[in-house]
Amino acid sequence: MGTDELSFAAEGLNVWTDTTRFTVTREKLTAYAQATNDPIERHQAGDIANPVFAVVPVFQSLMEPALEVVPLPLLGKVVHGEQDFRFHRPIRPGDVLAARGAMLGYAGSPKGTRANVYLECRDEANGELVNEQFVTFFVRGFDAGERVGELAPAHAFEHSVREQPPVTKLTQHIDTDQTYRYSEAADDPMPIHLDDGVARDAGLPGIIAHGLCTMAFTAWAALVELADSDAERLQRLAVRFAKPVLPGQDITTQFWRAANNQGVTSYVYETTVGDTVVIKDGLAEIRD
């Protein structure tokens, strides 16, 4: 069957996955901090999670909604395009978290199709919403031909922001063994991050860093530089993944102040390797 005969199944939108449960341990939080070179003491001690750890309890629910909508032959063309976290409270040891997800919409274009998966993570004990996540998947080279349902909220920033100097920037190093450590800590076994041959067969220059690992680096950069290392002040963190990062490279993240609204300051940011932008349209919303 050729791709011209394939079509997205709109009836699969808004179909919730089964709820999965995840018990948070101090050891797991510490391992994640160590796997992302996170220097914040409370993260290293496992008292509170690096914000991007929020993807770990929902990982089983991440791709499952796509199976309801995206034709099976196209799943190999799916890449993680954007990630948008909304934090209602931090994750702590002892939490038992219940997660589920649904695909809310998609939009075709000549280069491919964007699809929006919404994930929610709740405290199983009281039903409290801990975080929400909008995940934009991109199906390369396949145009679904229409826009159906709801896409993820926008977080692009005006390029004119670069006309002013950044309020801060930070350079971080991605270790040569980073992908192996992150894979174990995040329970993410994707082979393009672990097997050089598989990565090259996929058209990559070799093993690449997990996009969410790179995002976790930018999370602690934002906290250290802008929030006194306090994850409880972070309300939203959103990025668009632009280019892969390779083990052994240095990444530099620059932050610009965008706005302040009712005691929450918005910072936009981008991350580069040399002159190459690897994370774009970054947004961090931090309570004052």
CATH architecture of 155-288: Roll (3.10)
Two structure tokens written together for 56: 């770990």
Find out whether 96 and 116 touch, Cβ atoms under 8 Å.
no
Q: In the prediction, which pLDDT does 285 show? A: 98
Give the residue extent of every domain in the chain.
1-153, 155-288
Q: In the prediction, which pLDDT does 160 show? A: 87
**Consecutive 10-residue runs of the chain (288 residues): their mean pLDDT?**
74 97 98 98 98 96 93 92 98 98 97 97 97 97 96 93 93 98 95 93 93 98 98 98 97 96 96 98 97
Q: Which amino acid is at 164?
A: Q
Query: pTM of this prediction?
Result: 0.95
CATH of 1-153, one of 3.65.10.10, 3.40.50.720, 3.10.129.10, 3.40.50.2300: 3.10.129.10
Query: Same CATH fold, 155-288 and 1-153?
Result: yes
Q: In the prediction, which pLDDT does 2 show? A: 42
